[in-house]
Amino acid sequence: MKRILVTGGAGFIGSHLCERLLSEGNDVICVDNYFTGSKDNIRHLLNNHNFELVRHDVTSPYSAEVDEIYNLACPASPPYYQYNPIKTMKTSIYGAMNTLGLAKRVKAKILQASTSEVYGDPAVHPQVESYWGNVNPIGIRSCYDEGKRVAETLFFDYHRMNKVDIRVMRIFNTYGPRMHPNDGRVVSNFIVQALRGDNITLDGDGSQTRSFCYVDDLIEGMVRLMNTENFIGPVNIGNPSEFTIKQLAEKVISLTNSMSKLITNPLPSDDPRQRQPDISLAFEKLGWKPKISLDEGLKRTIDYFKKDIEC
């Protein structure tokens, strides 16, 4: 049994990760300030004696004797990370420093949930890990993008200077059950709008692309990365099947048999035009590739939201 700390464990991805780590017999401490996460996401785990829940903000140090740390604490949806951009930056940077400091003291392995946003509005397509990115340092997405870039820098500096055993994973758009209905990200927005018969809000003409990964595939990649020796990343984890946002909207309408209509909103500034992970490195080093198609993942997510938004 390993003792594992998951920061941001009450969030969408974090709750699935806690579940997976507990199912493997580990002792899990979930730390969260509930900014975008919720106790509801991990309520079903509270009776498990190997699970501990701690209300804590990662901008302050936290201490526990652990073997591994997964650092996920950070709002991931644009409206939420832009709500208080200074706080978002603090969460990324102080959160990384505090968890890295802990990893150094207790000699724990530590994994950073980084993001495809480190590539910004990418000029290289699909995105490979060796690409340094095209990020606006002063725009409305910068608090998130630059915060995550600094966090990666801190991870590599703690590794070089203090021999901390790091893993850095660049997550591409991930979706699935337990996204919050008001989360603001495109998959949950479109599904909730379609199920309610509301207009589907397309930003711009919907020709921008994203590549959507189902959460179970992502968790498998995350755990493999933590458990693989002699490979620290950074590594892209995402589903390389690329769709325009308009295609996503049409798929959601068709899978929900919805009467919803598409409406157009202005495209937010700095919205990346295209995004698709090159996952050759993940396959080579982790033997990982996603298994769940967008259609299958959307069906599972739609089933979840049908129950979730009724109650």
Q: Give catalytic residues, as residue numbers.
A: 144
Reference 34, options 103, 80, 92; nearest CA is 80
What is the β-pairing status of strands 68-71 and 3-7? parallel
Q: With respect to ligand NAD, which residue has the nearer C-beta, 91 or 208?
A: 91
Assess contact for 72 and 46: CB atoms under 8 A.
Answer: no
Q: With respect to ligand UDP, which residue has the nearer C-beta, 30 or 202?
A: 202
Return the bridge partners of 53, or none: 30
What residues from 241 to 270 belong to the interface with ligand UDP (CB under 6 A)? Answer: 245, 268
Task: Indicate whether 115 belongs to the interface with ligand NAD (CB under 6 A).
Answer: yes
User: Binder to ligand UDP among 33, 36, 208, 236 (CB under 6 A)?
Assistant: 208
- Taking contact as CB under 6 A, which single stretch among the options 5-13, 101-109, 197-205, 246-254 is the one that binds ligand NAD? 5-13
Task: Indicate whether 33 belongs to the interface with ligand NAD (CB under 6 A).
Answer: yes
Assess contact for 62 and 102: CB atoms under 8 A.
Answer: yes
Assess contact for 102 and 63: CB atoms under 8 A.
Answer: yes
How near is the Cβ of 192 to ligand UDP at its closest, in Å? 10
The DSSP secondary-structure symbol of 270 reads T
Task: Indicate whether 8 belongs to the interface with ligand NAD (CB under 6 A).
Answer: yes
Which listed option, ligand UDP, ligand NAD, none, makes contact with residue 32 (CB within 5 to 8 Å by class)?
A: ligand NAD
Assess contact for 18 and 28: CB atoms under 8 A.
Answer: yes
CA–CA gap between residue 29 and residue 7 (Å, rounded)? 8
CA–CA gap between residue 223 and residue 1 (Å, rounded)? 15
Identity of the residue numbered 226 = M
Cβ within 8 Å of residue 191, ≥6 positions away: 252, 256, 298, 301, 302, 305
Assess contact for 58 and 81: CB atoms under 8 A.
Answer: no
Which listed option, ligand NAD, ligand UDP, none, makes contact with residue 84 (CB within 5 to 8 Å by class)?
A: none
What residues from 49 to 78 belong to the interface with ligand UDP (CB under 6 A)? Answer: 77-78
> Mask of contacts with ligand NAD, 121-160, x by CB under 6 A?
----------------------------------------
Which listed option, ligand UDP, ligand NAD, none, makes contact with residue 268 (CB within 5 to 8 Å by class)?
A: ligand UDP
Identity of the residue numbered 94 = Y
What residues from 64 to 83 belong to the interface with ligand NAD (CB under 6 A)? Answer: 72-76
- Taking contact as CB under 6 A, which single stretch among the options 26-34, 131-139, 229-237, 239-247 is the one that binds ligand NAD? 26-34
Task: Indicate whether 278 belongs to the interface with ligand NAD (CB under 6 A).
Answer: no
Which listed option, ligand UDP, ligand NAD, none, makes contact with residue 12 (CB within 5 to 8 Å by class)?
A: ligand NAD
Assess contact for 53 and 40: CB atoms under 8 A.
Answer: no
Tokens (6 digits) for 218: 């992502």
